Amino acid sequence: MNPPGETRQWLKRLWRTFAAEPRDRHDLLKLLREARERGLFQADALTMIEGVLAVSDLHARDVMVPRAQMVCVQRDDPVKRILPVVIESGHSRFPVLDEDRDDIAGILLAKDLLRLCNDEARERFDIREYMRPAVFVPESKRLDVLLKEFRGNRQHMAIVVDEYGGVSGLITIEDVIEQIVGEIDDEFDVDDDQNIRKEAEGQYLVRGVTRLEEFNEYFGARLPEEQGFETVAGLLMRRFGRLPRRGEAVTIEGFEFRITRADRRRIDALRVVLPAGMAAPREPESVD
């Protein structure tokens, strides 16, 4: 963070930049980009300012997770069926369905299930004691208004409904914030300069953009390369027939591929588990 003196100087220089009053948003962005070129602030700051301005033009329908890709649990499911869904998906919040996908009974927080650490608690499990109230917003809800509401009521997820009250999808506070600051990395992200990284014995983190040729060479595999796609992400999308969600998995040629990070446009990262009995590839020797 800049010292107060530097901040005041920065604001004075920015004010001088706006000496010619902008007439519309286009002029404002032009002035901001000129100020960035003069070195008044960093490129990341400009990106966030542009994101803030864009958020007021976006609605919940534009960034929500579609209904078909929602990971939910059933209200009547036993705990032995709920826990695998929570663990495998990696999400922190789950809509609880009552009788159908348009009947959301509440929201289940993964952290609340930590109480089920012993057999007695699991036997007495009643999901009604764990559910939080669900928040519903229309598809037309503006993101800037939604963010303010998220902060005001300390909610992190909302169910998006259409004009007839049917469930269209869900949206989280992270979805909104990422429109401003860009994609938020987590522990499943692979370094930009490293497409394949060993995570544990027989287990690797792989970037979706990894070329199949590189994957096959690294693991001594024979994943198909001739079907109109060149990357691991392309292969998985062909196998799923759609863009998979985080937590979904598929086995190809003995390799288990589990999605660890994906958005509405691409598969960013995945975890690969080697086939049973396959020897781990030799790691390249480091050069001092």
Q: Is the pTM of this model over 0.75?
A: no
Domains and their CATH numbers in the chain: 1-42 (no CATH), 64-181 (3.10.580.10), 196-273 (3.30.465.10)
Question: Which residue in 166, 41, 57 sits closest to 101, CA to CA?
Answer: 166
Most confident of 20-29, 38-47, 240-249: 240-249
Q: 154-210: per-residue pLDDT in tens? A: 889 999 999 888 999 999 998 888 887 766 555 445 555 688 988 888 899 999 889
Per residue in 256-285, pLDDT (tens digit) is 999 888 766 678 889 999 988 888 787 655
CB 145 within 8 A of CB 61: no
Share of the chain above pLDDT 90, in %: 22
Number of CB atoms found within 10 A of residue 68's CB: 9
C-alpha separations of 68 from 101, 143, 250 in Å:
10, 22, 18
Share of the chain above pLDDT 70, in %: 81
Q: Kindly state the average pLDDT of the residues 243-252.
A: 85
Tens of pLDDT along 193-207?
688 988 888 899 999
In this prediction, residue 226 has a pLDDT band, given cuts at 50, 70 and 90, of: low
